[in-house]
Amino acid sequence: MKDSKKPTQLKLISEYNPAKIEPKWQKVWEKKQIYAAKDFGKNTSGISSVKHKKFYSLIEFPFPSGEGLHVGHIRSNVAMDIISRKRRMEGYNVLYPIGWDSFGLPTEQYAIKTGIHPTVVTRQNTKTFERQLRSIGFSFDWKRKVDTSDPLFYRWTQWMFLELFKHGVAYQKETEVWWCEALGTVLANEEVIDGKSERGNFPCVRRPLPQWMVAITRYAERLYNDLDLVSYPDVIKNQIRNWIGKSEGAEIQFEIAGNNKKFVKVFTTRPDTLFGVTYVVLAPENPLVSDLKDQIKNWKEVHDYKEKTKSKSELERTGTDKTKTGLVLEGVFATHPITKEKVPVWIADYVLNSYGTGAVMAVPSHDERDAEFAQKFNLPFRVVVEPITGEEKPNEEFRQSIVVIVINKKTNKVLTIDWGSLGGTIFIGGGIEKGEDVVKCAIREIKEETGYINIKHILTSEKIHHHYFAHSKKVARNIDATGLFFELENEEKTEIKLEENEKEKFTVQWKSYDEAETIVKDPLHSYLFKKFIRNKAYSGVGILTNSGVFSGKKSNSVDSAITKLAGGKMVTTYKLRDWVFSRQRYWGEPFPIVWVGKEAFNAASSIKKSAVAEAMPKEQVKRIRVITDKKLIDFGKTVTEYALPIPPQHLPLILPKVKSFAPKGDGQSALGTAASWVHIYFNIRSGETLGEKDFIAKQKKFEKTAFRNKNKKTAHVSFNPNDWFNAMRETDTMPNWAGSSWYYLRYVDPLNNKTFADKKNLNYWTPVDWYNGGMEHNTLHILYSRFWHKFLYDIGAVPTVEPYTKRTSHGVILAEDGTKMSKSVGNVINPDVMIKNYGADTLRMYQMFMGPFDQTIAWNSDSMSGVRRFIEKVWRMIDRVSVSEKDSEATEVIINQSIKKVSEDIESMGFNTAVSQLMILANHFEKLESISIDAYIVILKLLSPFAPHVTDELWEILKTKKLVKKSNDSIHETMWPDFDPKKITESTVTIVIQINGKHRGEIKMERGSDNETLIKTAFALPTIIEKLQGLVVKKTIAVKDRLVNIVV
């Protein structure tokens, strides 16, 4: 480097130069294959039958974008690399693989723009990615690299789809799907946010299209319940549960009056409120609405509303306006299944057709939404649940009482009484006297407590069962309270006559509604305020009333009984919808499916045993398609087509070459433009496909041969014209989620060409022990993948119920300005630059040190220098390593503490504190004149997962200096250090002396000294004696090995 005139020092090592040592070690590791995972399941020849303990650590495989890696992408990789390296040092056989999730829109859009084939783009991008990832020194087993767009990989994705198809899990459905004009494709619900595409933020509309669907909802229950089997953080489990949206309730039918064949089937989570139903509401799309067309007197309006809903659904998510709209179906009534009362039937777009049964029973008194709707349309309320407020206490005294809310309409204020310490601010309340009715009682109480006499009674509430403690009387009470709502007519008052002891205990105040709402804390009073003033429905539990035989029962105890009486059944419903599995894109896995006419389908179905028959589902899969090819005479007509499988022996079905990768524009992908690929001949027995030319050639050849062989007995025909039919290939491709749903299975046996992975390998390696990835993938990707895995489990293809034993997530790294890194803003931190300036080891460590792993955090290049300094400190330290040095107690303690802390922190992903502990250890060593070889080895080993290059270099130096014996091993092949639990604490401890909890002195004591000794020593301390002068010691608390607190 620089010329130095300094006298030559006796330097044992040169300057730290990561640019030199990092590539060197990367090459050594690759050559020696020290990170190669060993398939003991399959290849037992190597190390006999030793059942090696395995560890499968997984990161989400990257999408190789054209922009290359940015530092945020590798946070997860570094973390799992550290864990993987530690596991290896603990003796595990570790599988830490990498691959490319290479199908997807950005590559395709780049291809559309440039005309370069996505395969070529992908090859270029993966090359960059691989170079970048290698330069960071990850301990990936590169030999197991997978690539979802490689036919050798997607062959198995197609195979799995065939299984989904065969088992009836994949089906066709004409669905209103999100159509994105700008992208020319259908998007999954999850890919559309507020009516805009997740990728690109383009507007999307609803449009009906026949689609491949995957019945993930069949697995909803298991996806929900099996979360108990895995170790994901509660945050993630919560999110997943939330997404699946399980709710238990009842399905109850309301017969259409005068039409005993038609029913409104509703789903409710509150069957206990059945007697409170005053109307029912259907989703506008509910088929029953059209069914009842003849009966509906205002059909035109109803039809208009239906249409409006359809167009509204395009905007509904963007609109913040959620005021309820709806329309009564005139002439239609539904019969209450128990009371036989006839209730009106409405349609409203707040009822979703896709959830539950697409219809609700409305209980305005006990449901917020129903209340809002009923208020707007003036529909009746019927109270069937009497609320319970407060908490039940033992030995309650029963009373009947009232609560009165009086408002002044002129001032918009409400009358309150402040009882001060006796019970805070409440409304007017009191006990009912013998023979008194509630209204009279209320009038009396108002007069007694406030003097007002001209008041008008407006409303009376249901009974409320309230539990409270009467502080004035020192008794627990259980009261049946009735709420009364009054308006003040004028301010005229009489004199308040109070008993002596009641005077000046309270003050009467008029408060604004908002003020009253916050200061009235009593649950009974607050409930009545919400009811009378805010018109809130009571949706809690309580005592049933007006509910026939169920009256008087606790509302949450009768769900099944009431459902049974109504002839309904208890059901579980989920928010989760089936997975839209079609994409109208080029750059995805082609479906191994052809579409044929009825004749071909029937012919195929009639064959019992054949390749095609074996891959066929029990239920036929068909679609109705509009002919969109203008060249065809039947343009615009609809045809019914049937799906036939291309059996597994013909896989992979390779993506054909096309001229342009842009979607065809009519809803078909670019594949639709490859006419000779799309329109083919299909053998309904073998599943062979032939293009027109080939087919004709084959036909001719057959005719010739048949003619020649006409007179021979051996006329064996390999070509049966009856088996060949015109067919059209599926032009949709699979979504990006398909490959990523199962890629982790391929890593265990990536080169297998007989099956997606050998059973033995699966048995040995799966499930994944630890999977770390982005928060954004915790719902969708994890859900899809778990579903896919469970399906494979059901067909006996994988040995475990769940794919991932443990899942964790890292926080996003933001740019230095605290915003998201983006190429367009130009705030992207490129790892290549960081490696050049600081070295990969520093980059890795800084990523771990910068803050809590699971937290979003902004990049700060300045802070990186601290990490670099630390590495250099450890580097230079080797000069002071000595074989003769013996560790002091303090050094021993800090070493053992560090082993413990670093080991535990890696496990809990507390990487920032692990690094900080390494720094503490290095700072300690820095103060020593010489460092024992054992101590130095410990810091190198602890550091090695974080900074693998520099530690291997230093390890090699130790070897050349003959300070360590084994000469062939990399430090990464050595054993992880253990700590001695006896040596993690020093023999003396500092005891803090406090007076009234304030730090007033310290004493050094033998560890484990008993409390008595501690106190004695503390009181003997001169400063303490001085401070305690003239004070009386009330109490002394001693905590072993920690403190003495003297209370005065």
Selected from 926, 980, 1006, 1010, the binder of RNA by CB under 7 A is 926
Strands 1035-1039 and 998-1006: unpaired
Selected from 857, 902, 964, 1018, the binder of RNA by CB under 7 A is 857
Selected from 316, 480, 973, 986, the binder of RNA by CB under 7 A is 316
Selected from 269, 726, 837, 974, the binder of RNA by CB under 7 A is 269
| For RNA, the closer CB: 351 or 671 | 351
Q: Does 242 bind RNA (CB under 7 A)?
A: yes
| For RNA, the closer CB: 475 or 992 | 992
Selected from 447, 553, 781, 873, the binder of RNA by CB under 7 A is 873
Sign (positive/negative) of CA torsion 658, 660, 664, 669? positive
The Cα–Cα gap between 945 and 82 comes to 5
Closest approach of RNA to the CB of residue 851, in Å: 4
The Cα–Cα gap between 1019 and 1001 comes to 11
Selected from 41, 64, 104, 358, the binder of RNA by CB under 7 A is 358
Nearest residue to 219 via CA among 576, 744, 735:
576
Q: Which part of the chain contacts RNA (CB under 7 A), choosing from 84-92, 114-122, 264-272, 415-423? A: 264-272
Closest approach of RNA to the CB of residue 270, in Å: 5
Closest approach of RNA to the CB of residue 244, in Å: 10
The answer for residues whose C-beta is within 8 angstroms of residue 301's C-beta and 6 or more apart is: 327
Selected from 535, 602, 923, 1011, the binder of RNA by CB under 7 A is 923
The Cα–Cα gap between 447 and 495 comes to 9
Q: Which part of the chain contacts RNA (CB under 7 A), choosing from 94-102, 614-622, 751-759, 849-857? A: 849-857
Contact letters for RNA, residues 768-807 (x by CB under 7 A): -------xx--x----------------------------
Q: Identify the H or E element spanning 641.
A: strand 638-645
Closest approach of RNA to the CB of residue 563, in Å: 12
| For RNA, the closer CB: 660 or 908 | 908
Q: Find the binding residues for RNA in span 186-215 (CB under 7 A).
A: none
The Cα–Cα gap between 453 and 160 comes to 80
Three-point CA angle 394, 398, 399, nearest 5°: 145
The type of residue at 373 is: F
The Cα–Cα gap between 1001 and 1023 comes to 8
* Chain centre distance of CA 689: 42
Closest approach of RNA to the CB of residue 863, in Å: 4
Q: Does 1019 bind RNA (CB under 7 A)?
A: no
Closest approach of RNA to the CB of residue 271, in Å: 8
Q: Find the binding residues for RNA in span 324-343 (CB under 7 A).
A: 324
Q: How many residues does the chain have?
A: 1048
Closest approach of RNA to the CB of residue 340, in Å: 22
Token readout for 504 is 């000046």
Closest approach of RNA to the CB of residue 206, in Å: 14
Helices vs strands, H then E, count in the chain: 31, 42
Say how many Å lie between the first and final Cα of the chain, rounded.
Answer: 67
**Looking at residue 496, what DSSP letter applies?**
-
Selected from 131, 708, 869, 886, the binder of RNA by CB under 7 A is 869
Q: Identify the H or E element spanning 783.
A: helix 780-794
Closest approach of RNA to the CB of residue 865, in Å: 5
Q: Does 536 bind RNA (CB under 7 A)?
A: no
Closest approach of RNA to the CB of residue 735, in Å: 17
Q: Find the binding residues for RNA in span 697-736 (CB under 7 A).
A: none
The Cα–Cα gap between 522 and 426 comes to 7
Selected from 289, 441, 621, 1043, the binder of RNA by CB under 7 A is 1043
Closest approach of RNA to the CB of residue 356, in Å: 3
Closest approach of RNA to the CB of residue 354, in Å: 7
Q: Does 244 bind RNA (CB under 7 A)?
A: no
| For RNA, the closer CB: 223 or 655 | 223
Selected from 39, 367, 559, 749, the binder of RNA by CB under 7 A is 367
Q: Does 837 bind RNA (CB under 7 A)?
A: no
Instruction: Answer whether 484's CB lies under 8 Å from 464's CB.
Output: no
Closest approach of RNA to the CB of residue 978, in Å: 20
Q: Does 810 bind RNA (CB under 7 A)?
A: no
Q: Does 85 bind RNA (CB under 7 A)?
A: no
Q: Does 447 bind RNA (CB under 7 A)?
A: no
The Cα–Cα gap between 431 and 196 comes to 59
Closest approach of RNA to the CB of residue 722, in Å: 50
Instruction: Answer whether 481's CB lies under 8 Å from 466's CB.
Output: yes
Q: Does 381 bind RNA (CB under 7 A)?
A: no
| For RNA, the closer CB: 431 or 774 | 774
Q: Does 72 bind RNA (CB under 7 A)?
A: no
Q: Does 997 bind RNA (CB under 7 A)?
A: yes
855 burial type by CB count under 10 A (0-12 exposed, 13-18 middle, 19+ buried): exposed
Selected from 55, 695, 870, 936, the binder of RNA by CB under 7 A is 870
Q: What are phi and psi of 84, to 5 degrees?
A: -65, -45
Nearest residue to 556 via CA among 695, 388, 322:
388
The Cα–Cα gap between 964 and 960 comes to 8
Selected from 188, 220, 351, 1014, the binder of RNA by CB under 7 A is 351
Contact letters for RNA, residues 891-920 (x by CB under 7 A): -------------------x-xx-xx--xx
Q: Does 1037 bind RNA (CB under 7 A)?
A: yes
Q: Find the binding residues for RNA in span 552-611 (CB under 7 A).
A: 573, 575
The Cα–Cα gap between 321 and 315 comes to 11
Pure H helices in 296-363: 299-315
The type of residue at 642 is: Y
754 burial type by CB count under 10 A (0-12 exposed, 13-18 middle, 19+ buried): exposed
The conformational region for residue 194 under phi > 0 = left, psi -120 to 50 = alpha, else beta, is left
Pure H helices in 397-466: 438-450
**Looking at residue 772, what DSSP letter applies?**
E
Q: Does 3 bind RNA (CB under 7 A)?
A: no
Selected from 512, 720, 996, 1011, the binder of RNA by CB under 7 A is 996
Q: Which pairs count as long-range contacts for 792-800, CB under 8 Å and 24+ apart, including other chains? A: 792/160, 792/163, 792/742, 792/745, 794/167, 795/163, 795/167, 797/163, 797/756, 798/745, 798/762, 798/766, 799/759, 799/762, 799/763, 799/766, 800/766, 800/767
Selected from 47, 352, 626, 833, the binder of RNA by CB under 7 A is 352
Q: Which part of the chain contacts RNA (CB under 7 A), choosing from 357-365, 405-413, 681-689, 752-760? A: 357-365
| For RNA, the closer CB: 541 or 690 | 541
| For RNA, the closer CB: 134 or 1000 | 1000
Q: Which part of the chain contacts RNA (CB under 7 A), choosing from 47-55, 625-633, 724-732, 866-874? A: 866-874
Q: Does 766 bind RNA (CB under 7 A)?
A: no
How many chain residues touch RNA (CB under 7 A)? 80
Instruction: Answer whether 481's CB lies under 8 Å from 435's CB.
Output: no
Q: Does 356 bind RNA (CB under 7 A)?
A: yes
Closest approach of RNA to the CB of residue 819, in Å: 11
Q: Which part of the chain contacts RNA (CB under 7 A), choosing from 153-161, 667-675, 844-852, 968-976? A: 844-852
